[in-house]
């Protein structure tokens, strides 16, 4: 019997071999914003480990859009060439390769998490941008409120990065609209205090992220799927709501977005108690709700660590795909082991043949 987790999924012209996604995870390991051997081995492990879709980490579309000086970028020919090598490495190991396009907005120019996300010096010629001149948290860099010219430039930068991703052989692009970064900060009333056409009503707050989605869809081939990661809610009883996410998902479907990756949070909240409580599968209800939007498939993410939990999420129709982040860091072979657990009678058949052939025989000999 085939586990539902291991059924293929076709999105436009891309068929994923199963429903397991490696969630985008920044490693802040890219001097000059270039992916290198480290990224190829790091992401290649997940591909060899059986995931259907391996997402690369948040990749800035412009230099000032990086969270740290060691974020990946995709605004130059060198970066495009290096990204093509990364795409080939992941695909050669058996997975589709997705790339998350990003602008960090108010959260740009910081140190890495393990250095405390502190303010880093803003590079010469760079600046921190946001919808309004309000910092992401107390003491964080004060952003400059973006002008419509800034918006036009970034719409073009996202579209150009999508064209580069296509030329690099990337299979799926995801636009990062979550976690308090630039596009989320336009959506959320907690960050957006604009009084022009880009602030105030939901329609106005959605306007800039939708312009980006539309431009990327136009630049990105019709046969390739487009995803957006959103923060489904800002928190409990505050800020951006799930109802707004459903309206936004409808609008995203209207501009040709296929998939919504349903995360949450990322805004600094007045009280810790307002954070969505963390528990296994805590964001699954968001994916289930947004999946009701016609034309939208969903990715569920957040403390999904167990094969049966992931299988249930797909089998019950809560999500089309499940993404794992930290669990993959712990165990890059998670997908292969999940296949053995869910389909014991076919153990090792989904493993790369040069491993599976041996391991099947060892299992028989150990019985």
Q: Contacting ligand FMN (CB under 6 A), which of 16, 48, 58, 140?
A: 58
Q: Judged by CB under 6 A, which stretch of 30-38, 117-125, 137-145, 296-304 contacts ligand FMN?
A: 296-304
Of residues 14-33, those binding ligand FMN (CB under 6 A):
23-26
Task: Decide if 198 is catalytic.
Answer: no
Q: C-beta of 110: minimal distance to ligand FMN in Å?
A: 13
Distance CA 364, CA 194 (A): 66
Q: C-beta of 95: minimal distance to ligand FMN in Å?
A: 16
Which residue's CB is nearer to ligand FMN, number 141 or number 184?
184
Q: How distant, in Å, are the alpha carbons of 9, 25, 120, 163 from that of 62? A: 32, 19, 17, 14
325 binds ligand FMN (CB under 6 A): yes
* Diameter over CA atoms, the chain: 71
70 binds ligand FMN (CB under 6 A): no
Of residues 133-172, those binding ligand FMN (CB under 6 A):
none
301 binds ligand FMN (CB under 6 A): yes
**Helical H runs in 6-116?**
37-48, 77-92
303 binds ligand FMN (CB under 6 A): yes
Using DSSP's 3-state secondary structure scheme, residue 325 falls into coil
178 binds ligand FMN (CB under 6 A): yes
End-to-end CA distance of the chain: 22
Distance CA 10, CA 173 (A): 15
Q: How distant, in Å, are the alpha carbons of 95, 115, 293 from that of 85? A: 14, 30, 36
275 binds ligand FMN (CB under 6 A): no
> Residue 341 — φ and ψ, nearest 5°?
-70, -40
CB 14 within 8 A of CB 225: yes
Q: Which of 28, 181, 198, 348 is catalytic?
A: 181
Residues that bind ligand FMN (rule: CB under 6 A) add up to a total of: 20
Q: How distant, in Å, are the alpha carbons of 47, 68, 93, 333, 336 from that of 41? A: 10, 22, 10, 14, 18
326 binds ligand FMN (CB under 6 A): yes
209 binds ligand FMN (CB under 6 A): no
Q: How distant, in Å, are the alpha carbons of 74, 315, 367 from that of 226? A: 17, 23, 46
281 binds ligand FMN (CB under 6 A): no
Residue of this chain nearest to ligand FMN (CB atom): 325
176 binds ligand FMN (CB under 6 A): yes
Contact positions vs ligand FMN (CB under 6 A): 23-26, 57-58, 100, 176, 178-179, 229, 263, 301-304, 324-327
Catalytic residues: 181
């Amino acid at each position: 019997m085939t586990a539902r987790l291991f059924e293929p999924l076709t999105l436009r012209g891309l068929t994923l071999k199963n429903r397991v996604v490696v969630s985008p995870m920044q490693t802040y390991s890219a001097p000059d914003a270039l992916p290198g051997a480290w990224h190829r081995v790091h992401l290649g492990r997940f591909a060899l480990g059986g995931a259907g879709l391996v997402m690369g980490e948040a990749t800035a579309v412009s230099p000032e859009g990086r969270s740290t000086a060691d974020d990946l970028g995709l605004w130059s020919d060198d970066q495009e060439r290096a990204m093509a090598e990364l795409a080939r490495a992941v695909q050669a190991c058996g997975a589709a390769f997705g790339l998350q396009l990003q602008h960090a907005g108010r959260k740009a120019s910081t140190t890495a998490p393990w250095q405390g996300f502190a303010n880093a010096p803003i590079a010469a010629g760079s600046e921190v941008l946001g919808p309004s001149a309000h910092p992401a948290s107390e003491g964080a860099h004060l952003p400059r409120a973006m002008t419509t010219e800034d918006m036009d430039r970034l719409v073009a930068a996202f579209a150009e990065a999508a064209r580069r991703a296509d030329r690099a052989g990337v299979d799926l692009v995801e636009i990062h609209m979550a976690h308090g970064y630039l596009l989320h900060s336009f959506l959320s009333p907690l960050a957006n205090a604009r009084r022009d056409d880009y602030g105030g009503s939901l329609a106005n707050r959605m306007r800039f992220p939708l312009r980006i989605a539309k431009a990327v869809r136009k630049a990105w081939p019709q046969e390739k799927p487009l995803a957006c990661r959103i923060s489904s809610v800002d928190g409990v009883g505050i800020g951006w709501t799930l109802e707004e996410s459903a309206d936004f998902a409808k609008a995203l479907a209207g501009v040709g977005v296929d998939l919504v990756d349903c995360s949450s949070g990322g805004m600094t909240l007045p009280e810790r108690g307002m954070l969505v409580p963390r528990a296994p599968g805590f964001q699954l209800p968001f994916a289930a709700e947004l999946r009701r939007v016609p034309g939208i498939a969903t990715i569920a993410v957040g403390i999904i660590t167990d094969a049966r939990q992931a299988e249930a999420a797909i089998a019950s129709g809560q999500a089309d795909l499940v993404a794992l982040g930290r669990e993959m860091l712990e165990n890059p072979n998670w997908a292969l082991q999940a296949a053995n657990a869910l389909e014991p009678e076919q153990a090792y058949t989904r493993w790369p043949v040069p491993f599976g052939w041996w391991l099947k025989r060892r299992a028989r000999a150990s019985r």
